[in-house]
Amino acid sequence: MYLITIEGGDGSGKGLATKIVSEVLHKEFSFTSVEVTGEPRREHPLGRLAIDAVRERKMPPEEEAGLFAADRVDHSHGWILPRLEEGKVVVSERNIHSSLVYQGIVGGAGVDRIANMNSAALVPDLCIWVDCDPEVAMKRIQSGTLRALSNKEEYFETTDLQRSIRQGYASLLSGEIEMPTPFDMGALIGPILNEGTESEFRAELTRRIRRFIHNRHPPLNVDVETVERHLIRRLLRTRKGQTTLSGIGVESSGSSQDWLQGIAPWRAVRDAQKEHSSVLASLGENTRADIPKNILSHSMASVCGTLSLVPSADISELRSALGPVRTVSERHTQRIVKYLHEHTDWVHKHKSLLGREAPRSILRQRYRAVGMTLLAIWPLKEAIRKWMEDNPTTHLRYAMGQIVRSGQYPSAINDTLARISLIGSGTDGRSAPAGPSGLVTWWQHSA
């Protein structure tokens, strides 16, 4: 979903930063996986051409940049983009900013010219700038360990050149030189100085990457609905053919296509909201403070919707199934599941009698209608929630019609229709709605 790049001069610590960032992303967040790469690609013919050009130093900077751009565009669309569409995060040691600095600024080819050559490449969602004093960097480059790992003798092994490179990054990433379009769209972290201990470096990188992910930046290279539909499709495949647990008070799952169970979508949402509000009103202030008031809130819709697609899951499995769009922090996921289990009848939690497995949670079948509805209307949930706040005395069944007629949400309406087409109408024998008017009919009418 995100392309995160690690930039900086030779010997600055990009490799270590790539390792740390990848570890944090894998451990703490709900991406389907974390993929590590780098540029130029040593194992690809296009990347080798770029590497050889730099090592032999027979080409002017602009021609070198052309080889790097060819490798980058192929890398972007042949390897990185398919992974982003699957909800993965890609961490790349070097990307476009290296070319802008090395050939554009230091080489004198000009950042606008280099940006134009790379205009078909992906735009990094986040660039992490690692900085280091050139004297320290040169000692790392000249050390036997670093040279053995990265073959740095091929590259820019003079302190003066490293100073120019450092100044190039400072000029470009501090705003002294204007970042060319479209590469001015991404976020920037840095400079992060790497001259102290590894633990200090790790702590600063961890703090910064957490802040970026928690801010929920929209991805620049993929549509979140493309990511979501891929993940929902995968969960549907996983659920198909699996059976629910028996003998623990949990009903049979019934038909996977009849998830509305004869209830109109608006009614499923309304009844669940009434029940939720009633339970909250009976609880103490401390408990209420931890739980969103509206089931259309991000965290409630995420957890309930995802539980409707997984037969049973512990917290770790549930967070993995949430994916990067529906992601909720581990602590908040635990709070919501605990609330649904202890204070409502929505979730059954059980623990294996054998071994030490973590408790597993399952959404009771009669609440699957609201869980699946929340997934279906996800693109419109904020519009519906706002409508509910603006129209507290108006029947919820009229919400979808008024939202459609407002003309304010054409993209979200199309995304909702695409989701229902994927997960089904919720009624056996009924086709998915076609067009906005069909969506209104689906919302208002039961089987």
- When the pLDDT of each residue in the chain is averaged and rounded to a whole number, the result is 90
341 vs 335: CA distance, rounded Å: 10
Confidence (pTM): 0.87
Q: Residues 392-409: pLDDT tens digits?
A: 999 999 999 999 999 999
Distances (CA, A) of 311 to 307, 318, 349, 370, 373: 7, 10, 12, 16, 17
Q: How many CB atoms sit inside 10 A of residue 240's CB?
A: 8
Confidence of residue 237 (pLDDT cuts 50, 70, 90): confident
Burial class from Cβ neighbours inside 10 Å (0-12, 13-18, 19+) for residue 357 reads exposed
Find the mean pLDDT for residues 355-380.
91
Cβ partners under 8 Å of residue 19, min gap 6: none
Identify the residue with better confidence: 429 or 447. Answer: 429
Q: What is the per-residue pLDDT across 10-61, written as a single tens digit (0 to 9) for each?
A: 888 999 999 999 999 999 999 999 999 999 999 999 999 999 998 888 889 9
> What mean pLDDT comes out for the span 140-154?
54
- Phi and psi dihedrals of 367, rounded to 5? -105, 5
Of 88, 80, 91, residue with least CA distance to 128: 91
Per-residue confidence band for 249, with pLDDT thresholds at 50, 70 and 90: very low
CA angle, corner 67, sides to 65 and 68, nearest 5? 65
The set of residues, in sequence order, having a beta carbon less than 8 Å from that of 247 and lying 6+ positions away, is: none
Task: Report the pLDDT value the prediction gives residue 147, as an integer from 0 to 100.
Answer: 44
Side chain identity at residue 377, one-letter code: I
What's residue 238's pLDDT? 81
Within 280-417, strands assigned E span: 347-350, 360-363
* pLDDT tens, residue by residue, 172-205: 999 999 999 999 999 999 999 998 899 999 999 9
Integer-rounded Cα Rg, in Å, for the chain is 26
pLDDT for 286 equals 76
For residue 251, the model assigns a pLDDT of 46
- Which structural domains are found in the chain, ordered by start? 3-214 (3.40.50.300), 225-444 (no CATH)
